[in-house]
A and B are shown apart, each in its own frame.
Chain A
């Protein structure tokens, strides 16, 4: 467990040294979200309808931007090899890296989303549901993304390939996440969607580190 905390702290420290990467993803999220009203038109009713989908799709893309770097630096300087040889199970260390990734790329999106939701005239209640859905959903994105990042480690054209692999797997999170907000706006209650999102998260926590570890071992061979 100590190793897990150490990995999280180390990755957070590294992220703090390279703040620009975190902010780039955040600004990307803001810009993508702001493009939609410009492309579609400013009618409030329309914006309210598309807001959950737009915010969620933008969050998917923003979370994916930083996936490339999840293992790349550690792979290049050999840290990853050391980790795989350490007595601590690699899956645990991978989980630590995923948690750190979520703290630096997912959590800021959760915090920023309500501000952007205001641009779309969402009600305070819907903003709350949006935050909860992102809180449950963005860790799924980091977990599933870790599998893709591990598989494309050191592979030609890794970045585009990563999105090709990972985006289809993100669809359930997108559907339940955006669906939760929509259901709430429609007055149907977001409970069902949110609990399904929670189930996805539980599945992801259980399986994704294991699959990502298997993929990393292939890259390290």
Chain B
């Protein structure tokens, strides 16, 4: 184990800003990508459902 305490872990031997800046931005970027793709998917699905429902209504 490398770290004596949580504080030591977050300080990263003085490189905290750089290490957490890298890992944090990477994690944030991947999360944002996932959120954006989910939004894109559900937006298409929603509009398609609406279209299909409208079609069904006119047919009935």
Q: Do chains A and B touch in the complex (CB under 8 A)?
A: no
Residues of B within 8 A of A (CB): none
User: Which residues of A are in contact with B by a Cβ distance under 8 Å?
Assistant: none
